[in-house]
Structure 1
Amino acid sequence: MTAHIALAVLGLVILVLAGDALVRGAVNLALRLGISALVVSLTVVAFGTSAPELLVSIQAVLGDAPGLALGNVVGSNIANVLLVLGLPAIISCLDPSVSDTRKNYIFMLCASLVFVVLAFLGPFVWWHGLILLAVFALILGDQIRHAFAGDAPEELPEELEEADPSMPYWKIGMYLGLGLIGLPLGADLLIDSATEIARAFGVSEVVIGLTLVALGTSLPELATSVMAALRKHADVALGNVIGSNIFNLVFIFGVAPWFGAIPVDSEFLRFDLWVMLGTSLILLPFVFFRWRMGRAVGLLFVALYIGYVSFLLH
């Protein structure tokens, strides 16, 4: 058991490092090729930062553990709201009035509702994925249209702060190679180990996906948000979480069902989907009424997450 836990942790570490390397390589390659930083932030960075979740979901389906894929996406969205926003709010108060996230928040709610409806029409198969990819294309198209219209924010995301348009091609190739090799390796280690841990503890793959795997694949977002809070820029966390949740639902689960059918457990329909919707709705007053997220809110969010995980593992 200790060996499986160690391998799962190793897989998570490789995923995080490989994902970061892939983003660095892809961003700098795009900038070297003359693509604008704004378009890079809306496309390359979004794809790169979600690469660990995507690879984990595909590997889970191919490895005959589809419950891990489903739990990973829903669990990541729950962790993003309660933990990735909760911890930065404890460190430094989040001020939603700094940036307008209302439109993207509505996109997130719509994506969540479409996902829930499709889950009740499950198992997820290729045509479910096609619908989700169509939603993703509409949202991405709207983002790019507003970017070229000059409506996008001037500040670039954290991932572009260390971009170097003059980075030599050999270094770009090294980052891309590390990312492309490390991501499938880390995903394979994580899925195999998580499956064995689930069997050893007698819990379902879905529960392991909702907890261990989801938390692990949310580590990049958590690390980014905590660092932003320490730098007194915690307000960017809300937009990052909303964007990540949209991507998880409509892109990752738009692609994963093409590699195999993903069944939806009845308990999942009765409980976990509604927790995901509830955590999405809990953001409504902060997005539309610009309520500040102080330490009390952060502590409440983290406590809710701990309670949710405890309930799953009881």
Structure 2
Amino acid sequence: MPYDEIGDLRFFISLVDAGSLSAGARSLGTSPAAASRRLSRLETRLGSTLVIRNTRHFGLSETGRLYYERALTIVAEIDQLEEEISSSTQAPRGTLSIGAPVELGRRQIAPFIEAFSAKHPRLMINLALAPEGNYDFNDYLDVVLRLGLPETPGAVVTRLASTMRVLCASPTYIARRSMPAHPRDIPKHDCLCLRKNKTMALLNKWVIGNETETDVVMVEPRLSTTNAEIIHDWALSGQGIAYKLLCDVYQDLEEGKLVRILPDLQGEKIDLYAVLPTRQHTRASVRAFLSDLRPYIRTAGFL
């Protein structure tokens, strides 16, 4: 029987990623006994023990670690080669899983995905939303969109665009409380603040300024929440002044549902990044997604 070297590489990667023979067998759709026999044949062919295993332990030998790391590289290069060849003649297909922050994902990325999906009907797209786009690639995502530089070890990071925070409120609030004329007027108003999800720490230091002068305004909020969309809703309903990302409120500003406060000044600049795991080369579907996303977001509150 001829050896299937590439198949063995993929088999071993799946086995190690699963963490045990039984879990690896499940992921491969086979039995633990069959997986064990295949691993033994592979070790016999290589003349080396790859996995140190007993009833309680499943770990890589030094040779197994080397084989696993090289296997990742080889399989990724083969996948990349096949993807490049097929993508030159075929439209993106298969599954594409995307992670994004909640508000950006719902207001911007979800509508974009509708149009992108219509353009690529052979592609099945999954959108996962989490606060601030905090994901681990163990969530099996192909690309994560994140506001602010991520700290994912070893990930491939691409900057897509920038946005900024702006002060805004509804016309009804401005009519009731007047328009602030200076950053020092902001603390006198009803303010709406975010809190961090896990610690409930209050994010009440608002940076606002221009190229020559910047103020850090400390506010005491009348209302606060851990959810950015609730801040948005409160601002729309006239509850106070919000310090929002332009990409989240640009449409409401254009439609007059919100009013920009101190429009000659701007808040913190925030970059939008695409984060990809290092273990895979960029597939055709990911390349197509990011290629179409770049021009779209630059008309949607990004700079």
Q: Same fold (TM over 0.5)?
A: no
TM-score (norm 2): 0.22
Q: Which structure would you say has the larger Rg?
A: 2
Larger RCO of the pair (alpha carbons < 8 Å, separation 6+): 1
* Structure ranking higher in helix proportion: 1
TM-score (norm 1): 0.21
